[in-house]
């Protein structure tokens, strides 16, 4: 990959919007926009999850199993990014990355070592790793405004817990905090001000 950019943050912090804005901004560089949305029913993910659960014989609740499945979903996506030639020499913009899985592991009481075990040997360090820093109460308000059903992880108490966890790991992961309590344009400008690309698209 020419450049690997990840945007992270709580639900409602504006990740997807900022990823799309960044995608438009870098459009001439032909970026690839990648998002971890709903887990598709994927045979590789299903087999890997089943094999892992069998091998480890872990007693887990449904949220924890779902998270392991999500981790494998991300695992195969990362594997594709590193092996598929269509990603070579391209800028990749990622909506969420491994921090999401770790944060939810904390929320659902899953040992983070399990997640590390899954991502072992495959983790790619992003060239630019941003966290949209927005207070959980504001995120929650935005989530409510969407008018959709609220997931467990989107409840205010859980957003607060996730926020605290994200803030505690940003240093370890080398994540740059972006003040997201601003207009879309200001947040976008703040992100692009950190990204240095020369005329050929290569990192300086």
Q: Which residues bind other proteins (CB under 8 A)?
A: 41, 43-44, 46-47, 49-50, 53-54, 62, 65-66, 69
Please report how close the Cβ of residue 139 comes to other proteins at its closest, in angstroms. Answer: 26
Please report how close the Cβ of residue 67 comes to other proteins at its closest, in angstroms. Answer: 10
Which CB sits closer to other proteins, 20 or 65? 65
Which CB sits closer to other proteins, 69 or 188? 69
Please report how close the Cβ of residue 62 comes to other proteins at its closest, in angstroms. Answer: 5
Which CB sits closer to other proteins, 29 or 65? 65
Please report how close the Cβ of residue 114 comes to other proteins at its closest, in angstroms. Answer: 16
Please report how close the Cβ of residue 53 comes to other proteins at its closest, in angstroms. Answer: 6
Q: Rounding to the nearest 10 degrees, give the CA dihedral for residues 166, 171, 172, 174.
A: 100
Which CB sits closer to other proteins, 53 or 192? 53
Q: Provide φ and ψ at 150, rounded to 5°.
A: -95, 130
Q: CA-to-CA distance for 5 and 188, rounded, in angstroms?
A: 13
Which CB sits closer to other proteins, 62 or 185? 62
Which CB sits closer to other proteins, 66 or 90? 66
Please report how close the Cβ of residue 171 comes to other proteins at its closest, in angstroms. Answer: 33
3-state per-residue secondary structure call for the chain: CCEEEEEEECCCCCHHHHHHHHHHHCHHHCCEEEECCCCCCCHHHHHHHHHHHHHHCCCCCHHHHHHHHHHHHHHHHHHHHHHCHHHCCCEEEEECCHHHHHHHHHHCCCCHHHHHHHHCCCCCCCCEEEEEECCHHHHHHHHHHCCCCCCHHHCHHHHHHHHHHHHHHHHHHCCEEEECCCCHHHHHHHHHCCCCECCCCCEC
């Amino acid at each position: 990959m020419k450049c690997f950019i990840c945007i992270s943050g709580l639900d409602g912090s504006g990740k997807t919007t900022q990823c799309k804005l960044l995608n438009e901004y870098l459009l001439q560089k032909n970026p690839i926009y990648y998002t971890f949305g709903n887990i598709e029913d994927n045979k590789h993910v299903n087999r890997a999850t089943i094999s892992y659960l069998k091998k480890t014989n872990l007693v887990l609740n449904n949220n924890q199993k779902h998270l392991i499945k999500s981790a494998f979903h991300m695992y195969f996506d990362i594997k594709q990014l590193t092996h598929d030639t269509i990603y070579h020499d391209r800028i990749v913009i990622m909506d969420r990355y491994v921090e999401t899985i770790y944060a939810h592991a904390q929320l659902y009481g899953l040992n983070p070592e399990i997640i590390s075990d899954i991502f072992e040997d495959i983790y790619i360090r992003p060239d630019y790793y941003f966290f949209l820093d927005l207070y959980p109460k504001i995120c929650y308000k935005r989530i409510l405004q969407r008018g959709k059903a609220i997931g467990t992880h989107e409840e205010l108490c859980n957003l607060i817990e996730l926020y605290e966890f994200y803030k505690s790991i940003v240093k370890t992961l080398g994540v740059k905090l972006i003040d997201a309590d601003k207009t879309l344009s200001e947040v976008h400008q703040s992100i692009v001000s950190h990204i240095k690309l020369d005329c050929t698209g290569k990192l300086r």
